[in-house]
Structure 1
Amino acid sequence: MSKVFALVDCNNFYVSCERVFNPKLAGKPVIVLSNNDGCAVARSNEAKALGFRFGVPVFEIRALIKTHDIQVYSSNYALYGDMSRRVMETLSQFAPEMEIYSIDEAFLDLSDVPGDCLTAYGRRIQAAVRQWTGIPVSVGIAETKTLAKIANRLAKQSKKTGGVLNLTASSNRDRALAEVEVADVWGIGRRYAEFLKKNGIVNARQLRDADREFVRGRMGVVGTRMLQELKGFCCYPLEENPPVKKGITVSRSFKAGIESPTQLNEAVAAYVSRGAEKLRKENVAAGVLMVFVMTNRFKQERYYCNLETIRLPVPTSDTAELIRYAGEGLRAIYRRGYCYKRAGVMFKDLVSAGPIQAGLFDDRDRRRSKKLMQALDSINTQMGAGTLTHAAAGLGKGQRWRTVYKKRSPAYTTNWAQLPTVV
């Protein structure tokens, strides 16, 4: 039996999440901003129609925001993460196998669905996600992941499709591939796109029909597989269990520079806390912790950047233990007289958090530590992120390192105190 994949992608996901709990935003131009409210990272179709580019800095568009009455929101990652979970749980009801590809898209295996029912089945998926979560999605269906990506892209662009496009055994596939620029093919980066265009390959159809040896010689095995995928031969199966991450990084830029070692230490402790939470969620422990700081390279001041690597005696995901080591690392690289613009931590050498061989001189009660972290995560899951924090991350006011979210909506689904009320 030949494979059939569906790529389900949420439309303007961050904006759609805001609209679920604020229906007045429907039909209005909306943008969602990045950390520290710096750039536009999500735009409604209405905002796109006004010419707002992805990543445009807010200071460049303040006048346009006022002129067109654009609704502006800070990123609300707690809300988006929970809504993503709900969407993925809904999608899991429609396929025996699913690969969560990102926060707002997933591949489904529809190989068992009869060919003449695929489009209708795609509309069932679309309707269920909208009804159960409030999030609009587009569905692209094809024999390979690469073709499903293309089908999804075209489904979003054309109103005639109603948000669902099936390219399996389609007589219109040639025309569909011709409509997609080669730079928009899944896996084609800027360098390859420039190379292909210089050689007269400007769309997906031309890439599919390109000489195999020519592509292999310039793009290697990756290029050959891409050609096969465009021809309808599956080279990339679903990854239901993604490989263990090689590392986890948590870092932020500060709205205003920081000179105080106390505030810098609080920032690093907060980033360690977030990273340790991610480690436990992935059920892994870190064997290496890296701490880094840097000043603003774009200012005409002395530039300073440094990193300290700490090899941990025993791989761990214990927040308190990691904060202690991070503090030691920060003290080793901190220099007075500099105004720091960014800091962060990286966790490397990740191993399974199952039974770990303790060091000869390790006197930490690992069993008690594990139970404490489980309790911490449980409370923060039930009562909202950040309900319980380590004191090393500071206690609130006057923290210049805190990410700025001046226009953030409530955490409607993850914080009891911010649940929407009906009057």
Structure 2
Amino acid sequence: MFALVDCNNFYASCERVFNPNLQNKPVAILSNNDGCVISMSDEAKKLELPFGAPIFKWEQFCKDNNITVLSSNYPLYGDMSARVMNILGDFSPDIEVYSIDESFLQLKGFENYDLKEYATQIRTRISKWTGIPTCVGIAPTKALSKVANKIARSNLKQSKGICVIDSDENRIKALKWTKIGKVWGIGRRLQKRLQAKGIETAYDFTQVSSDWVLKNFSIVEWRLQKDLQGISKIPLEEVSSKKMIATTRSFEYTYSDIDNIKERISTFATSCAEKLRNQKSSCHLLIVQLSSDRHKKDIQQHKASKTVCFSYPTDSTLTIANAAVEAVKTIFKSGIKYKRAGVIVAGLVPNDNYQLNLFLHENPKHKPLMSAIDNLNKKYKSDKIKLANQDLKRTWKMRQERLSPRFTTNINEIIKVT
């Protein structure tokens, strides 16, 4: 059996944990640079505030309906997510963290357990220890556990946040209730192709021939169909090293001077280097991207990238940041207002197994230096040690005019009781 544990309206719920005044009130969370709505509470959904709504167009609507609008507080959300996932690890050793707010648990050897009671224990502990509300769907396969979770979420009062599909009768009933477009892994294009064949529900999808699915689609859709039929074909995914690491961000404002852009690129490159060392990898390639604001058609547009090949694999912040800054100098154009940049490291190899170069190699002083920097930053839970060409006050320069305090990750912003 598989369990899917999903946090309800996660970003909004995190804000409510530390600000009880937001309970039972409409809350909306904005994307980077306070751009558009990416999360909201059930109360805001009932007011029909659309997902992806640009806040500058919906500002008056939010004021008229008393919707509290907040900037994304990623340090808080990341920390709360880690706490929830740590709790889930106590309920099963086989866990797949699917996203920041949901995880799959594989329940091996639970044949004699009361699964509904077990799901209740999961929800109760997470709520008690973190204050985050959750829903739990349990079924014989991952795809069915997704269906069960949606059913639990659709009617919280009746389901109490729990749905268990433990019989073929319950499976068929659940699949007939689920529209094909709501099935995990069915995108808009695939939905249209299936509907053209008369497939309107998840149950309809399970009734067509498996050979037809393989002939017209791919092994991915075939596995999904089998999962929905109750035959487990989608296993838990193991954590593996990434084959490419990217750090891309929109700027707080448009920049037309090279100095600000060099500082941003250096910061992005530093982030990539840290991620490389975390997974004990080094890179052979570096790609630097720079682009203007494509949404502003009245200004001159420019988009370019530069690829740098290293003579030896590296995970050094100094090497990667210097190469990134030199690369952005070659693609920068004077007079262009740039809005977005990115740094990508590719050609990754493990640090303990790669081809050496007879004549060129990393400066031997870099390894102990990077280790010391990482240990200090880890100890103090922030980027205290930076390169001289980085902004010492901020890591990500984003417009966050409605930002709540980082209650759990910054000692200066914890709740004060007076």
Q: How does 1:124-163 map to 2 (within 5 A)?
A: 124-159=121-156, 160-163=158-161
Match of 2:4 in 1: 7
Partner in structure 1 of residue 181 of structure 2 = 183
Please tell me whether the aligned partners of residues 290 and 345 of structure 1 are also in contact (alpha carbons under 8 angstroms).
yes
Number of the residue aligned with 1:383: 380
Counterpart CA distance in 2 for 1:380 and 1:32 is 29
Equivalent of 1:415 in 401, 410, 415: 410
Partner residue, 1:323: 321
Give the drift of 1:356.
Answer: 4.6
TM-score, with normalisation over the residues of structure 2? 0.94
Output the CA distance in 1 between the equivalents of 2:299 and 2:64. 37
The one-letter amino acid of 1:408's match is L
Deviation at 1:261, TM superposition (A): 0.5
Aligned mates of 1:12, 1:256 — CA distance in 2? 29
Instruction: Tell me the TM-score normalized by structure 1.
Output: 0.93
- Residues 288 and 309 of structure 1 are in contact (CA less than 8 Å); yes or no, is this contact kept in structure 2? yes
Which of 203, 206, 216 in structure 2 is aligned with 1:205?
A: 203
Classify 1:371/1:80 alpha carbon distance in 2 versus 1 (closer, same or farther; 3 Å). farther
- Is 1:41 matched up with 2:23? no
1:308 CA displacement: 0.5
The change in CA–CA distance for 1:377 and 1:69 in structure 2 (over 3 A counts) is farther
Q: Cα 1:40–1:318, aligned 2, differ >3 Å: closer, same or farther?
A: same
Q: Measure how far apart 1:359 and its partner are.
A: 3.0
Q: What secondary structure is seen at the aligned counterpart in 2 of 1:302?
A: coil
* Cα deviation digits, residues 166-216 of structure 1 (max 9, x gap): 012152322211221111211112211110011111111111112222222
Q: Distance in 2 between matches of 1:343 and 1:146?
A: 37
Superimposed CA distance per residue, residues 249-295 of structure 1 (whole angstroms, 9 cap, x where no aligned partner)? 11112243211000110111111122222222222222211001112
CA distance in 1, matches of 2:354, 2:369: 17
Whether the aligned pair in 2 keeps the contact of 1:10 and 1:105 (CA below 8 Å) is: yes
- 1:70: which partner in 2? 67
User: Structure 1: how far apart are the matches of 2:5 and 2:380?
Assistant: 31
Partner residue, 2:342: 344
Letter matched to residue 343 of structure 1 = A
Contact 2:34 2:400 in 1 (8 A): yes
Residue 319 of structure 1, CA deviation? 1.5
* Residue identity matched to 1:411: R
Contact 2:314 2:362 in 1 (8 A): no
Q: Distance in 1 between matches of 2:109 and 2:49?
A: 42
Q: Distance in 1 between matches of 2:20 and 2:376?
A: 31
Give how far 1:315 is off.
1.9
One-letter amino acid of the structure 2 residue matched with residue 86 of structure 1: R
In the alignment, what sits opposite 1:79? 76
Q: CA deviation at 1:380?
A: 2.7
Q: Distance in 2 between matches of 1:163 and 1:170?
A: 21
* Structure-1 separation of matches of 2:218 and 2:100: 30
- Would you identify which runs of 4 or more consecutive aligned residues in structure 1 move more than 4 Å? 355-358
Contact 1:383 1:414 in 2 (8 A): no
Does residue 60 (structure 1) correspond to residue 64 (structure 2)? The answer is: no
Unaligned 5+ segments in structure 2 are none
Closer, same or farther: CA 242–209 of 1 in aligned 2, 3 Å: same
Matching residue of 1:334? 332
Deviations 1:72-113 (A, max 9, x none): 211111111111111111000001211111111111111311
Instruction: Report the Cα distance in structure 2 between the residues aligned to 1:421 and 1:291, rounded to whole angstroms.
Output: 43
Contact 1:39 1:57 in 2 (8 A): yes
The Cα shift of 1:26 comes to: 1.1
Structure 1 pair 300–402 and aligned structure 2 pair: CA distance change class (3 A): same
Task: Tell me the CA shift for residue 233 of structure 1.
Answer: 0.4
- In the other structure, the counterpart of 1:117 is 114
CA–CA distance in structure 2, aligned partners of residues 354 and 74 of structure 1: 41
Residue 417 of structure 1 deviates from its aligned partner by: 2.0
1:355 CA drift (Å): 5.2
**Aligned to 1:300, what secondary structure does the other structure show?**
coil
In 1, the alpha carbon distance for the partners of 2:203 and 2:411 equals 52
Kindly indicate whether the alpha-carbon contact (under 8 Å) linking 2:312 and 2:362 is maintained by their aligned counterparts in 1: no
2:25 is equivalent to residue 23 of structure 1: no
SS in 1 for 2:203: helix
Structure 1 CA distance for aligned equivalents of residues 98 and 198 of structure 2: 31
What's the counterpart of residue 166 of structure 2?
168
User: Aligned residue pairs: how many?
Assistant: 416
Counterparts of 1:371 and 1:20, CA distance in 2 = 41
Task: Describe the superposition over 1:97-133 as per-residue Cα deviations: whole angstroms up to 9, x where unpaired.
Answer: 1111111111111131135511111111111111122
Aligned-partner Cα distance in 2 for 1:121–1:331:
58
> Quick check: 1:247 aligned with 2:255?
no
When structure 1 is superposed on structure 2, of 413-422 and 220-229 the one drifting more is 413-422
1:141 and 1:167 in contact (8 A); partners too: yes
